[in-house]
Every structure is written in C-alpha cells, then in structure tokens.
Amino acid sequence: MNDTTTCPYCGVGCGVKAQVQDQSIIAVSGDREHPANAGRLCVKGSALHETTSASNRLLSPRVAGVEVSWDTALDNVAERLQAIIDRDGPGAVAMYLSGQLLTEDYYVANKLMKGFIGSSHVDTNSRLCMSSTVAGYKRAFGGDLMPCSYDDIDHAELMILVGSNAAWNHPILYQRMVAAKRANPALRVVVLDPRRTATSDLADLQLSLKPGSDAQIFNLLLVELARRGQLNEAYISAHTEGFEAALSAAQESAPDIASVALDCDVSEQDLSSLVDWFCNTEKTLTFFSQGINQSSSGTDKVNAIINCHLATGRLGKPGMGPFSLTGQPNAMGGREVGGLANQLAAHMDFSSAASIERVERFWQAPNMARAEGYKAVDLFDAIERGEIKAVWIMATNPVVSLPDANRVRKALERCELVIVSECMSRTDTLDLAHIALPATTWGEKNGTVTNSERRISRQRGLISAPGEARHDWWAICEVAKRLGYTQAFDYRAPVEIFREHAALSGFENAGSRGFDISAMSTIGAQEYDHLKPIQWPITADAPQGTERLFSDGRFFTPSQRARFLTITPRQPAQQTDADYPLRLNTGRIRDQWHTMTRTGRAARLLQHRPEPFIEIHPQDAERFQLKDGALAELFNDLGHYRAPVVITTHQRPGELFIPMHWSRQFSGDAISGSLIASETDPVSGQPESKQGRAGLRAVDTRWRARLLVRQALELPVTYWTRVPLEHCTSYRLADTHTVDNWDNWCHRYLGEAPSMRLHDGHDGRYRACGLRDGKLNWLLLVERDDALPDLDWLDQQFAASTLDTDQRRQLLAATAPGNQPCGAVVCSCFQVREPEIRAAVLAGANSAERLGAQLKCGTNCGSCIPELKALISDTTEEVEHALE
C-alpha cells in the first residue's frame, strides 16, 4: 500500500509517511520525496499519530441527540431541506464549509448548492483567512493567482515577512528561510509585525509598526521607488495599467519617510533601511499572511504590496514576487472549486453571464444560482434574522472562530435546521446541531489538497473509518441523490470527482483562466492513487505543472495587463476609546491548531502553552496592577475573556495579544472571537480579527488550584482550563469566592469527601485526594503560590493500579521525584522544559547547537530554536544583571 500522504494542518502542505499497524497509524515521518518538506515535519505534523485514535470521535449519526442510522439521518437532512426550499425558496438554505475539506468534498458541495439546490449561500472559513488575498490577486492579476514557488526562497536576496509568524505557523517553510539565510549570509530578512515573535529571530530588521498601518509602508515604498528612479519603466509600460493614479494616491498618504515613520510609529532609521533594501534588491520576496488579510482594509493592503512588485517587475522570475502564505491545508483547493459565496467554480465568478451559463451547461444544472451569495459574516447575520433557515456546517467551528462569537452562537440557537458534519464527538458548534453527521478525517480520507505554492498533493486513506464515520463527499452526494439529483452525483470514488473538476477547469478556457488542470481530466484511478505532488497550471502545454506564473508578463484581465490599484490607507474600523483603551491582537501559538479539536488531544502539544493567556507589555501590567500569571479579564461591548497575564516586552505598550485557540471545551471564558467585532473589509468580506479593542481588569481570585480527575466535569468557578492527559484530565482552577470548608467542596463537586488530605486549608493550602479500590480517583492541590508538581508524574499516579502508603504520602506532600515546578515545555518533540534549558545555559551551553547536543532540544523539528535562542539571551542577561 502507498503509505504517503499529506499533513492536514498548515498550508505548507508537507508530505507525510505513515506507519500503519492493525488499522492504526503508529508513527509518522516526513516524506523525503515531497518537494514541500523534503523529509521534515514540524511538531504538529510529528504528533499526527497521537491525535488519530478512535476515542473522542463522533461515531454515529444523530438526529436531535439520538443515534440513528445513516439512512435515517440522510432522509432527515434531505426531507427537511426540501421542505424549507419548498416553503421559503432555495435562498433559505446555506452551507458553511472549510479549507480543511478535500478538493473533492468541496467540489460536490459547491456543485450541489450553486447548480442544483440553486443557492449561492455557500461560504467557507477561508473568508476569515484568505479572502482579502483572493480579492487582491483578482484585482491585480485578473485571477486568484499566487505567482511564486517555495523554491524562490533559495534565490531571494531580500525576504519581507508582513503579518506572518511563519516560525510558528508555517514552520517547515520558515526553516527553509533559515537554511537559505545560512547558505547566503547576504540574504536580508525584514519582519513587519507589531509584536516581536519567534519569526523575528531571523530578522535583520524588525519593524514593530502600529497595528493596521502596513498600507502606508508599502505606499511609501512605491513613492520612494519613483523618487529614486528605481521603477521598472519598461515593465510598467509593457505589462501594467493604472500606475500614475496609484503613485499619486501613494504620494498623498505617504509623502516621505519621516511622516510615514511617525504615522506607523517606527523609527525613521529602520524605515529608511527597509526603503533602501527594497529599492536596491531585485530579488525580493514579500510574504504576507493574517496580519495583512484579517483587516477591514485587507484587500487594499494586499494590493499595496502587489503594486510595489508590479512597479519593479518583480514577479514571474526566480527569487521574487508577492507571496501569500495560505493557512489551511486546502485553502487553495477551496478557492479552485469556487467554495466562496462570490465565486462560482473553477476560478469563474458571478460577474459574467457567460461564465454562469458555461458552468450551467457543464454541470447540466437544473437550478443555477445567478448572483453572489452571502459572505460568512453576512451569512450568519441572515441566519440570525431568520432569512436563512437551514445551514449545513462542515469541517469548521464557527461558534469559536467567527467574530462576535456570542452572536454566532445565538444565531445558530435560533436557526430552524443546523446540520453539522464533524469528526470529533464534542465541539462548541457540534453541541448546537440538530443533525450531526460523523465524518472521516485525516488518515481515513482520500483525495487531494493544494498548498500555498499551488501544489496539488494526495491525502490518502490509510486506515478504515471508525464506527459509522463516512466521507464528507459521500454524505453530500447521498443527500443530493435524495433531493432527486442522482445522475449528477453518482460518483463512486474521489477520482471521478477530481476528473470532473479538472475538466471544468479546462472547459471553454482557451487561456482565459489561470486555473487550468485540464491535463488531468482523464487521469486513471491508478495514476490518481500514485499522483506525485504537482503545481498547477497543468495543461497540455505544461503536463508536468508550472513552477511560476506570469513569466511572460501576460495577465488574466481583459487587457492582459496587470492592474495597479490606488490605495488610500484606512485606520482599523474597531477604534479604541476611554472604555476600551487597549488594541487587541489575536492569533496562533506554535503547537495548537485552531479550535484545538485535534491538537488539544495530544498531551504533548498542550505543554508548550497549557492555558489561554493575555500577553501584555510591562507598562500596561503596571498600569492595571497585574503581576505575571495573575488572572485578568478582557471585556468590551461584545463579550469577555478570562486568562492569566503574561508580561512581555515583545508586545507594544497599549496592545495585547491573545490566542485564537481556546473554546468552551477547553476553558470557561477564553474565546477570542467573543471580543472581535464583525467589521469586515468592504471588498473581500474578511473580518478584522487582528485589530480588536478591549478593556482590562484584574480578577481578584481567592484561591487557585490544580485538580486532576478521571472524568471531565463542570465546575462553577471564575476560571477553569483543561488539559487532557493520558490517564486523567488536569484542570487549573481559580475563583473569586473563598471556600470555607474544602472537604465539603470536594463532597459537593467531586461527589465524595477526600480519602486522604494533608493540609486543611487554613493557611490557604489544601491537598487532598480521593481513592477508589486503592486507585487514585482525583487529586486536588490548592496552593497560594501555584508551585505545582510535575504533571507527567501526577498523571502516572492515575495509571498505578494501587498506591502504597509511601506513594500516597508523596502525592500529597508532593515530595515525589517529579516535584519540581513544572516549567513550560519548550521543545515538544523531546519534552525539554525551560528550567532544564536555563540550567544548561548557566552551565555554559550558550548556543542552540550546544543545547541540542546536550539536551536534544531543537534537534528534531527545530520549531523551538527561536525560543531556545531567546532563553539563552534572557538567562545570560539575568546573570549579567545579577553581577552588576
């Protein structure tokens, strides 16, 4: 069997080799043959096999919470959808999809909705992710076409990363950047991000700019190129249009370095360096991601970047171009099939009657949608209004990931029919489903995904589905058949869908659309099974794929010229004020994936950052009288968020950073989206998730505790967060009410009085445990100072079949071998913790290489190397301080 597949996490799209035994994946490694990663995997990829067990999976269909057969569930879906369509028209039905679906799933969903049900209200979480880029590329190039290749990294002489923390979010690509810099010391790297991040480690220059001010910087680059005579006049006149207008708009908002430095709150000197480097370096790659896209003026920012590349003719050649880093494994595939509400299919949209008619003919569609549907935020508004009566949500968790999350929850609570296709047994969104459909997931699914560099790779089904889980494409086709569209949805395997998708891409194309994989429209089942990763376009002229687009200077606009856009920078729509004075930035952490439904199951991945947090500058900590680790609450007119504070100079004063990952499954009140207003970019509809606003206050807690229990439970406390371990679940708890009698508390909330206790709670400490048949059942450690024993060791005590007297005493006295304050795990691969690393640094290991030689940290996936370096400089600084 072919045991190679593709990682289901980020858009780098690494090839994975899986080792399968007895229908389970027992180990994974990087596929050396895959061009995206050449054998490497980051920490999330390396932990894939730890997240694939059948536990916590949704194993059978449910209607109104009752397990039913697939037949019953599908009949139910089809009958209720049909009833709503008959009563309220097709526009009352919507689908909300995901860049984590395979292209084949996506294709049939889009076809069913837009061609057969006749509703264009199909949108996807890519709206929250890539839609500003899609819109920006379309405006400039006449198509959603990312011109570059990963190989360009090896040729570049300047790399600018804008609003991207690639070290954590595109780790394998980042390592390629690290390697390129090592190979070519002249290669310069600039990071534009209000925060210092792990990615800043590689930067020759970091511009910690004012949030939302990027467009001005790129406008300035355009102005300075012109002023210094560094424009590529020949390229501009031969291949573009609209330059003059773009330049004069740029001059208005970015007249000179001094004024832009002031507006963006960066030093003139740093800004001048960027300008000098940009003006003088032909081989420039500009990478951009969510710091650009997730903005109420994201599309303009994308075009401000592209303008600079057009003005210099820096695209279509090795080592240069405006490079969008896509987020999800198949964000690109979703864009190909037309999964967004303003797209139609195969890079055609609703703006031309000819396209609509063409797709209609190709699909032989009986109920073709003829106008754009609602984009994500508007779609959920329409659900709230009651205009949309039924929504089928697939492979996304909108109750957590959409802005104004509390409102999204209310909208779904009042929706007549919520269908959720999901692979896990509990998610915040699944909890609201009327009909739940169990989906297969990575390792089981079979099909294709497209990564950031337009490379199509296979995800292969290596193990069989647990329980009644079925493929998403199958469920969609079964519903389609029940709605009467048997012939159009009678696929037996993903390859048949893929062929049709490929055929549509070439249908009446004749060079008019950049997305063309028509050379694959007759691909055989075997060939598809063995498909090697390949970059589109894949046509009769380029059957081996295409590395770079626009090498010929020809674009897909009516004039075949690329368009400059006039950019007038705008402030974020969410404005801070006296009530909500802090700028709220949200984003990702290294070891978690989105709403943690999968990565939250691997204990190893929760040790790097086991809890939600609020990163805050020391000045603000002082202003709000917060100590490091203190519990605090963020609030605004939409909601609130509670988590411990992390004080860091990496943050700008007046600005906060919180992770996007925690949901109600993992913490009481830590959904970042509940604070983000649903302000969107007028062109792309992408929400402004990076520039929220909030007030902050300390939470006056009376006690904090660690509770380990066999079964997860619900506790009425001010703050809780959960870490699933191998043998138990660990909670961190804190509350604003004093507990008078802890024994009673245990009785009430843990169902029994303690079997043993050490401290009685009078001095603020209380340690007790419950035993059942000699086995540890729960353990409660209430501490004032929060120095808790090592979690691994505690977890092991739950595995023991009986605990002898000594062990019990150790447990409560916490004098066990593992009784050191936990310390964060820095290297997840080898479980190396901060205290060990600091100790080694003090003993002389003063480089990442030496630490690696001694402790192994950083020697597998390398994702922690920036943190190792930060610890080295931090520890050394502390020592120097102490010696002064």
- Collapsing DSSP to helix, strand or coil, 807 comes out as helix
**Contact partner at residue 7 from ligand MGD, ligand SF4, Mo ion, none, CB < 5 to 8 Å by partner kind:** ligand SF4
**Contact partner at residue 41 from ligand MGD, ligand SF4, Mo ion, none, CB < 5 to 8 Å by partner kind:** ligand SF4
Q: Is the peptide bond before 537 cis (omega within 30 degrees of 0)?
A: yes
| Tokens representing residue 542 in the block | 């380029």
| Tokens representing residue 647 in the block | 């004080």
Selected from 61, 319, 327, 514, the binder of ligand MGD by CB under 6 A is 327
Q: Residue 96 pairs with which residues in a beta bridge?
A: 123, 393
Q: Using the rule CB under 6 A, is 421 a contact of ligand MGD?
A: yes
**Contact partner at residue 732 from ligand SF4, ligand MGD, Mo ion, none, CB < 5 to 8 Å by partner kind:** none
- Give the 3-state DSSP-derived string for 168-192, with helices as H, strands as E and coil as C: HHCHHHHHHHHHHHHHCCCCEEEEE
Give me the residue whose beta carbon is nearest to Mo ion.
327
Residue 765's CB is within 10 A of a number of other CB atoms, namely 17
Least separation in angstroms between residue 182's CB and ligand SF4 is 19
Measured from the CB atom, the residue of 397 and 810 that comes closer to ligand MGD is 397
Tell which residue, 640, 629, 645, 651, has the closest CA to residue 783: 629
CA distance 598 to 600: 5
- Determine the residue type at 376: A
**Contact partner at residue 144 from ligand MGD, ligand SF4, Mo ion, none, CB < 5 to 8 Å by partner kind:** none
**Contact partner at residue 192 from ligand MGD, ligand SF4, Mo ion, none, CB < 5 to 8 Å by partner kind:** ligand MGD
Measured from the CB atom, the residue of 348 and 670 that comes closer to ligand MGD is 670
Least separation in angstroms between residue 129's CB and Mo ion is 3
**Contact partner at residue 215 from ligand MGD, Mo ion, ligand SF4, none, CB < 5 to 8 Å by partner kind:** none
| Tokens representing residue 286 in the block | 């500009």
Measured from the CB atom, the residue of 38 and 739 that comes closer to ligand SF4 is 38
Measured from the CB atom, the residue of 129 and 356 that comes closer to Mo ion is 129
* Whole-angstrom Cα Rg for the chain: 27
Least separation in angstroms between residue 179's CB and ligand SF4 is 14
**Contact partner at residue 397 from ligand MGD, ligand SF4, Mo ion, none, CB < 5 to 8 Å by partner kind:** ligand MGD
Measured from the CB atom, the residue of 129 and 279 that comes closer to Mo ion is 129
Q: Using the rule CB under 5 A, is 852 a contact of Mo ion?
A: no
Residue in the structure block whose two tokens are 């969609």: 476
Q: Using the rule CB under 5 A, is 298 a contact of Mo ion?
A: no
Least separation in angstroms between residue 42's CB and ligand SF4 is 3
Least separation in angstroms between residue 767's CB and ligand MGD is 36
Q: Do 704 and 739 form a contact (C-beta atoms < 8 A)? A: no
Q: Using the rule CB under 5 A, is 101 a contact of Mo ion?
A: no
Which phi and psi (to 5°) does residue 414 adopt? -100, 0
Q: Do 519 and 534 form a contact (C-beta atoms < 8 A)? A: no
- Collapsing DSSP to helix, strand or coil, 222 comes out as helix
Least separation in angstroms between residue 51's CB and ligand MGD is 10
What are the CA-CA distances from residue 278 to residues 91, 220, 275, 300, 869 (Å)?
A: 49, 11, 5, 20, 28
Choices 194-202, 261-269, 461-469, 812-820; region in contact with ligand MGD by CB under 6 A: 194-202
- Collapsing DSSP to helix, strand or coil, 826 comes out as strand
Q: Using the rule CB under 6 A, is 120 a contact of ligand MGD?
A: no
Tell which residue, 871, 872, 862, 867, has the closest CA to residue 176: 862
Q: Cα angle vertex 460, ends 458, 464, to 5°? A: 165
Q: Do 151 and 533 form a contact (C-beta atoms < 8 A)? A: no
CA distance 207 to 220: 14
- Determine the residue type at 689: S
Q: Do 363 and 111 form a contact (C-beta atoms < 8 A)? A: yes
Least separation in angstroms between residue 674's CB and Mo ion is 19
Selected from 45, 118, 194, 506, the binder of ligand MGD by CB under 6 A is 194
Choices 17-25, 398-406, 573-581, 846-854; region in contact with ligand MGD by CB under 6 A: 398-406
Measured from the CB atom, the residue of 174 and 745 that comes closer to ligand SF4 is 174
Q: Is 544 exposed, middle or buried (0-12, 13-18, 19+ CB in 10 A)?
A: exposed
**Contact partner at residue 312 from ligand SF4, Mo ion, ligand MGD, none, CB < 5 to 8 Å by partner kind:** none
Least separation in angstroms between residue 176's CB and ligand SF4 is 10
How many CA atoms are closer than 13 Å to the CA of 5, on its beta-carbon side?
Answer: 28
Least separation in angstroms between residue 725's CB and ligand SF4 is 23
517-536 burial, b at 16+ Cβ within 10 Å, e below that, comes to bbbbbebeeeebeebebbbb
Q: Using the rule CB under 5 A, is 129 a contact of Mo ion?
A: yes
| Tokens representing residue 193 in the block | 């991000």
**Contact partner at residue 810 from Mo ion, ligand MGD, ligand SF4, none, CB < 5 to 8 Å by partner kind:** none
Tell which residue, 148, 147, 621, 101, has the closest CA to residue 394: 101
DSSP β-ladder status, 188-192 and 205-207: parallel
Q: Using the rule CB under 6 A, is 37 a contact of ligand MGD?
A: no
| Tokens representing residue 327 in the block | 């987020």
Measured from the CB atom, the residue of 592 and 674 that comes closer to ligand SF4 is 592
**Contact partner at residue 12 from Mo ion, ligand SF4, ligand MGD, none, CB < 5 to 8 Å by partner kind:** ligand SF4
Selected from 120, 165, 296, 860, the binder of ligand MGD by CB under 6 A is 165
Q: Using the rule CB under 6 A, is 203 a contact of ligand MGD?
A: no
Least separation in angstroms between residue 7's CB and ligand SF4 is 3
| Tokens representing residue 504 in the block | 């549509």
Residues in contact with ligand SF4 by the rule CB under 6 A: 7, 9-10, 12-14, 37, 41-42, 44-45, 171-172
DSSP β-ladder status, 455-459 and 534-535: antiparallel
Q: Using the rule CB under 5 A, is 327 a contact of Mo ion?
A: yes
Q: Using the rule CB under 6 A, is 100 a contact of ligand MGD?
A: yes
Q: Using the rule CB under 5 A, is 163 a contact of Mo ion?
A: no
Q: Using the rule CB under 5 A, is 11 a contact of Mo ion?
A: no
Residues that bind Mo ion (CB under 5 A): 129, 327
